[in-house]
Structure 1
Amino acid sequence: VGFAVGVAERDQLITGEHVRADDVLIGLPSPGIRSNGYSLARRVLLEVAELPLDGPAYEGAHHSLADELLVPSVIYAPAVLALQRVVDVRAVVHVTGGGLAGNLTRVLPKGLDAEVDPRTWEEPRVFGEIRRLGQIDDAEMRKVFNLGIGMVVVVPASDAFRAIDVLRSNGHRATEIGTVRKGSGEVRFT
């Protein structure tokens, strides 16, 4: 795990303050666990289920559990920078510790909710295995893991199709995963 430091002009920061009801949530996929949730994954997969690191990641897998756990993070910056040049990006959410719910709430202005439909993307199989083997409920999984969405961008509904096209042309399988609605600052999974 590493880090990067950058410089930005204050007037160009994307803070989420311009997020409005009916804006669209666009998810960018993440192929694996990344850097958050390893404590729970280790406990479930290695201690509870006693799976060997050199064995298959799950039934039918053609790669080892070690390879599954070491899938590298995706770099989203070039695609998001390209997106900023053509649409009004109102918020950018890097889904790390706290999962989708915890990270989306950070960009919701007062009086708005995020409605997320988990059926709109394919969850990497490793998360289903952790859920099943550890008997972990969906609410806890959503608090700990990205569940296959590593970044969310929030754009006006009128820009959604264009945003998805730009993100896909930059190598990401972007998909609409939800909508911003009037509410009380919650993230709801539909």
Structure 2
Amino acid sequence: MQPPELSLAGKLDNGLTKGLCLLLRGLRTGSLWLLGLLALAGLPWIIFEYGEGLADLSLLEWSFMLLLALLLWRHIRYCQHFATGIWRGLNRLLMCQGVMVVLGLVTVGLLIYVMAETRDLQELPRYLLQDDPISKFLSFGSVLLAVYLAAPTAATESFRATEAMPARVEPSVSAMAKEASL
């Protein structure tokens, strides 16, 4: 049973809703993608913060770069194995990074809220600019977690759809059926 057709006003309203949902989905995807790109592009400035080259790196930063290289290799291998493609794999990677950046911003926002409630708002800039190993460990850990989670886990839908469609099978007519039709 088919639903009744919408009036002209209903069709316009439905089209406007679909268009706005598409626009919001595009803005969400674009902003997460851009945040992820900025997070990955900002890594060299976080790692080489003093500008002294490789002599600047701590053990934490060396281990982060090694783990990041291994996780990126894993990501590329899984993209090849599941036939995801370079652009879909990059999209997944940047979207996961963007989600981690949003989670970090929410955490900083909650920290600001708690400090504002306890009247320690003057201490906030000093606390945020402080270079402690725990914040570096958390920021590097969130990047590594996002790269780990971005690896594909199954083949894409388009690949499975083309693989699952059987070839057209022509019916065969037996010799006995041919004789019966004569």
Instruction: Tell me which structure has the larger Cα radius of gyration.
Output: 2
Q: TM-score, with normalisation over the residues of structure 2?
A: 0.25
TM-score, scaled to structure 1 = 0.24
Report the structure, 1 or 2, having the larger strand content: 1
Bigger helix share: 2
Relative contact order (C-alpha < 8 Å, sep 6+): which is higher? 1
